[in-house]
Amino acid sequence: MIGPPMGSSAQVPVLALGSLLLVTLHGELYDGAAEQLQHDLTERIARSPVTGVVIDLSAVEFVDSFLGRVLAEIASSARLLAARTVLAGMRPAVAITLVELGLTLPGLETALDVERALALLGHDPATALPVGEDA
């Protein structure tokens, strides 16, 4: 992928939920936007007390080898900065494509949906606070 179509935004929304970052990918993520997301997430993790990153892929229908590599690099960078990364909502076709491409995505955990990803990271999905903490 070379770049976004005319008139589309390359910005990917990142929502802070306590010590977690929630990234929701919609449709195709072009190479430049994927690289920018990787840079922005790494910077944000380094500057903030982030303990986990959830990347919601439920709206993504296609993942190519470049995006797969970027996701693995995001997880590696996050891990080096003491944060865990969970991919949530991966469609079966995306999983099959990643396997066919030989991408194992080391360092990435997976969850069926965002709620389960938050729970996997030890956060109450209703509040996104660590389990046992009051708001």
* Residue 89 dihedral angles phi and psi, to the nearest 5°: 75, 25
pLDDT of the residue at 4? 39
- What number does CATH give the domain 14-120? 3.30.750.24
Better-scored residue on pLDDT, 54 or 7: 54
Which helix (H) or strand (E) segment is 14 a member of?
strand 14-17
Q: How do beta strands 14-17 and 20-26 pair?
A: antiparallel
pLDDT tens per residue across span 1-41? 333 333 333 578 899 999 999 999 987 888 899 999 999 99
Q: What residues pair up with 14 in beta bridges, in sequence order?
A: 23
pLDDT of the residue at 105? 82
Better-scored residue on pLDDT, 80 or 12: 80
Whole-model pTM over 0.75:
yes
**CA separation for the pair 49, 57 (Å, rounded):** 24
Residues ≥6 apart with Cβ < 8 Å to 19:
49, 50, 51, 52, 130
pLDDT tens per residue across span 87-123? 999 999 999 999 998 988 877 899 999 999 999 999 8
